[in-house]
Amino acid sequence: MEDKALSAHSETVTLVLNWAALMALSLILAFAADIGGAARPGAVWIAVIAGAAAFKSRIVLRSYLGLAKAPGALAGFFTVVLVLLGLVAVSVVIFPTPKIFPTPKAASGPQAVQNSLIHSRSN
């Protein structure tokens, strides 16, 4: 009975620590997106976001979904997540956002260029 209570307590502590890690990662990324994302620093930034998302997925799979008890399944699901995030991230690296991009529905010619410069500065 005491063992059961002790095990429940340690499980609770692990879950709360994992939740804290998930929250910290999410908040840091969201704030960093406002700074780093606006400057569009490229592949490093994209790798950081994809890496953080992969790490968060692993915590959810391992701790929340309880796959720590099934290492084979954890490896399988995590591999799928990694491949998926990797493909999306690589496509963003291969097709990067231009530093200055035209605003949709903008007039063509000098006005469009001016709009895109204003938009780029506001970011």
Kindly state the smallest distance separating residue 89's Cβ from other proteins, in Å. 7
Greatest alpha-carbon pair distance for the chain in Å reads 77
State which of residues 2, 5, 108, 121 lies at the interface with other proteins (CB under 8 A).
5
Interface with other proteins includes 117 (CB under 8 A)?
no
Residues making contact with other proteins (CB under 8 A): 4-5, 8, 11-12, 15-16, 19, 22-23, 26-27, 29-30, 33-34, 37, 40, 46, 49-50, 52-53, 56-57, 60-61, 63-67, 69-70, 72-73, 77, 80-81, 84-85, 87-89, 91-92, 94-98, 101-104, 119, 123
